[in-house]
Chains A and B, each alone.
Chain A
Amino acid sequence: MTILEHRYRRLLALYPRRHRERYEDEMLAVLMADSPPGRTRPGLAATADLVFHALRQRLLPTAGGAPAGPWRDAATLVALLAAIALPLVGLRGVLAVAVSGSGVHAVTPYDAVAVGLELGWLVVLLLALTGVRQASATLAGLLTAGAAVWLVAEYLRGPVYVDYASAFYAWYAAASAWIVALGIVATVGLVVGAPVRGVAASIGVGRMTAVVVASAAAILAANAYQLGLFGDRYRSFMALHEHTVLGDAARLLPYAGVLVVCGLALWRRAVPGALPRALALLVPVMVMRGYAATALDYWGWAVPSAALAAAGWIGLLAVPLLAFAVALVAVRVLGRRGGATVPVERA
């Protein structure tokens, strides 16, 4: 077996067993025939293609042939919303630096990388809307992986739990974990969701554009206000780093508003049942964001105990998962009450 063949086999191992048993040898023959002589590594495009389809096969056992059910529409809706929200988070970082001015909030390479990773979602959004699904999913996966690496790097920046300064990085990493979670949900949505163009077409391009513009305006306006764009700069710095239950509830309001606007705009246009499911998919991300900001406040991370820190991280994962389970039950109950949500076959 050549090195290239071995590497292709490792990629093909990502497929579920059923698919491998049927097609692995045949696909390997095609991949080898399609590779120029002398190549020792799979090309980027071929790798992205295999990873994308292997994930699809794993997540959707009847990939491609499945009807466009409400869950798949919901996954696409969530991916679109995430691709709108994440660049806005990046823009919020740019705004924060702008209003903080020099000295109060020094711009570090870490900040620049974080903002770049978030703004990159604009490209994901454009690719998804133009129907280049595989490229948009691949880029979404790369940006999410990048955000996860950034998170770990941020976490490890100082000797954690030694003093308040290092605790800040731990807190910051925990407070940013929701971005990675949203990235994962959006990437999975792009891989398994209904085709973006189909969802956009059923909703209407004008309506879709209105939703995008309204979401952007609401989130930006709220951020500009919270950051005290028009007021005292010290307050705006504190607004970035202070978290209280009430303050965070207020911070989440514009996002709730955006969800309501989207809900009203998409109501009856989206496939029946897609909206409650989209909300259910967003619940763990929103809960993670709220939990990190309220239960795990900055000072809480300054505990000199690895056990307490581990409990913090476990909570950060377990609480959103629990909330997701509750949301799934709610979707089921609502579905029963509201009558059948029949999957709609979309040509």
Chain B
Amino acid sequence: MQEPTFLILTALADGPLHGYAVIEEVARISDGRVKLRAGTLYAALDRLRGDGLIAVHREEVVQTRLRRYYELTAAGAGRLATEVDRMRHHARVAGQRLRRLSPDLTGGMA
């Protein structure tokens, strides 16, 4: 799973969000490192919708502008959980090996 996709699913794990809120939330989760643009965001949302990982929650019109809220589906939550397990496993192995290599290198790790 690519990083933007992972971050979008993570953003929606906290509850339904509209497009611009997803951009803000992804920036917050990644400490400002990932700044999604509209074209990238909607390419990902369209794909995730097609794969059944997210769904439209509701639509609102705010100051004449359309806001569509997206939510994580059960399949999306499952996919995110699998990805988290995979990343956790990789991080654990990397941490163990780093500790063997040099205990100093794992200074910031739990």
Given A64-B44, A64-B47, A46-B37 contact (CB < 8 Å): yes
Are B44 and A52 neighbours in the complex by a CB distance under 8 Å? no
Are B44 and A26 neighbours in the complex by a CB distance under 8 Å? no
Contact count band on A: 20 to 34
* Residue from A22, A30, A46, A53 in contact with B43 in the complex, judged by beta carbons closer than 8 Å: A53
* Residue from A25, A52, A134 in contact with B65 in the complex, judged by beta carbons closer than 8 Å: A25
The yes or no answer to B32 lying at the interface (CB within 8 A) is: no
- What 1/0 mask marks residues of chain A from 104 to 138 whose CB sits below 8 Å from any chain B CB? 00000000000000000000000000000010000
The yes or no answer to B46 lying at the interface (CB within 8 A) is: yes
CB within 8 Å: A-B pair count = 67
Chain B residues, CB < 8 A from A54: 39
- What 1/0 mask marks residues of chain A from 52 to 85 whose CB sits below 8 Å from any chain B CB? 1110110000111100000000000000000000
Measured in the bound complex, the distance between the Cα atoms of B25 and A262 in whole Å is 45
The yes or no answer to B12 lying at the interface (CB within 8 A) is: no
Which residue of B has the minimal Cβ distance to A347? B1
The yes or no answer to A49 lying at the interface (CB within 8 A) is: yes
Are B44 and A32 neighbours in the complex by a CB distance under 8 Å? no
Are B47 and A29 neighbours in the complex by a CB distance under 8 Å? no
- What 1/0 mask marks residues of chain A from 1 to 44 whose CB sits below 8 Å from any chain B CB? 00000000000000000010011011111111110000000000
Are B37 and A26 neighbours in the complex by a CB distance under 8 Å? no
Are A26 and B68 neighbours in the complex by a CB distance under 8 Å? yes
The yes or no answer to B67 lying at the interface (CB within 8 A) is: yes
Given A34-B20, A34-B23, A65-B51, A53-B42 contact (CB < 8 Å): yes
Are A31 and B38 neighbours in the complex by a CB distance under 8 Å? yes
Interface size on B, residues (CB 8 A): 20
Chain B residues, CB < 8 A from A46: 37-39
Measured in the bound complex, the distance between the Cα atoms of B51 and A134 in whole Å is 23
Are A30 and B40 neighbours in the complex by a CB distance under 8 Å? no
The yes or no answer to B19 lying at the interface (CB within 8 A) is: yes
The yes or no answer to A98 lying at the interface (CB within 8 A) is: no
Are B46 and A26 neighbours in the complex by a CB distance under 8 Å? no
Measured in the bound complex, the distance between the Cα atoms of B50 and A33 in whole Å is 26
The yes or no answer to A50 lying at the interface (CB within 8 A) is: yes
Chain B residues, CB < 8 A from A56: 43
Chain B residues, CB < 8 A from A319: none
- What 1/0 mask marks residues of chain B from 60 to 90 whose CB sits below 8 Å from any chain A CB? 0000011110000000000000000000000
The yes or no answer to B41 lying at the interface (CB within 8 A) is: yes
Are B46 and A27 neighbours in the complex by a CB distance under 8 Å? no
Are B37 and A45 neighbours in the complex by a CB distance under 8 Å? yes
Chain B residues, CB < 8 A from A19: 42, 46
Given A34-B23, A45-B37, A50-B38, A22-B66 contact (CB < 8 Å): no
Are B47 and A49 neighbours in the complex by a CB distance under 8 Å? no
Q: Name the distance in Å between B20's Cβ and chain A's nearest Cβ.
A: 4
- What 1/0 mask marks residues of chain A from 130 to 170 whose CB sits below 8 Å from any chain B CB? 00001000000000000000000000000000000000000
Measured in the bound complex, the distance between the Cα atoms of B67 and A57 in whole Å is 22
Measured in the bound complex, the distance between the Cα atoms of B19 and A33 in whole Å is 10
Are A65 and B20 neighbours in the complex by a CB distance under 8 Å? no
Interface residues of B in 11-47 (CB under 8 A from A): 19-20, 23, 37-47
Query: Residues of A with Cβ closer than 8 Å to B?
Result: 19, 22-23, 25-34, 45-46, 49-50, 52-54, 56-57, 62-65, 134
Contacts beyond the supplied A30-B42, A53-B43, A65-B47: 4 A-B pairs with Cβ under 8 Å: A22-B46, A27-B39, A49-B37, A50-B38
Query: Residues of B with Cβ closer than 8 Å to A?
Result: 19-20, 23, 37-47, 50-51, 65-68
Nearest 10 CB-CB pairs, A to B? A53-B39, A29-B65, A49-B37, A49-B39, A25-B66, A30-B19, A33-B20, A64-B47, A50-B39, A65-B47
10 A-B contacts, Cβ less than 8 Å apart?
A: A23-B42, A23-B45, A26-B67, A28-B65, A29-B65, A29-B66, A30-B38, A34-B38, A46-B37, A50-B39
